[in-house]
Structure 1
């Protein structure tokens, strides 16, 4: 009887794990979260489509939070008044997985450039880190926040 109970319990656990499907590989989740974050932070001055490129891969709340940071830095059509891109300087840091969310920090150099109506160009580079929360189920960014930490030195991160 005891052997039968163990067999039934083992069968139940196997059926449960098969019904849930395999957990996504953490490496793939980090790659996806990083790619989406880099796309969101890479846009061209005056090009609304480049700014909106990653919108579908954010939750509605996360996209609203991201766009709020650009208030005052958009033209009348909603396009950014500067160009931006993040160049990673090392693999993702502080990767943690909990409750269906992957938290990670992307270290890098944030490059920004602005062109004025007379052809003048202003550019700057900052060491930066981007904190990302990525939902495993929806495969969408639920939070993205960038931190700058001074000029672009040879450091791999802000730490």
Structure 2
């Protein structure tokens, strides 16, 4: 009986952290979708803000360790509705011919950093994952958390 308890405890100690594992990347790991929009994105402490007068698109590649459904959580900030941020998570096959996900969700609350939870991305074997955000003037993307 003692041996079974020790095995159960050891299993929990080893497997529980692995099951809860997630990754975080700062917004500075991404890039503007159009290279010419580079001057629009200003970085401060790895937070990316749109300093231009029109909406711009920003994309963050995410490393996927395995195939399957992925949850991506973007932390973003918009002071007002006019400074909103809307993001989507997308999984693609390596040939870039099939896409899974892409439902854009917008901030619904303003004045503090908020979470945008994206649950519809799927990554096939040898595929890839990324988050794409439309950032209104003054909006900012802070971090991206996801299950690899």
Same fold (TM > 0.5): no
Q: TM-score range by the shorter chain?
A: under 0.3
Max Rg structure: 1
The structure richer in helix per residue is 1
Using the size of structure 1 for normalisation, the TM-score is 0.26
Larger RCO: 1 or 2 (CA < 8 Å, sep 6+): 2
The structure richer in strand per residue is 2
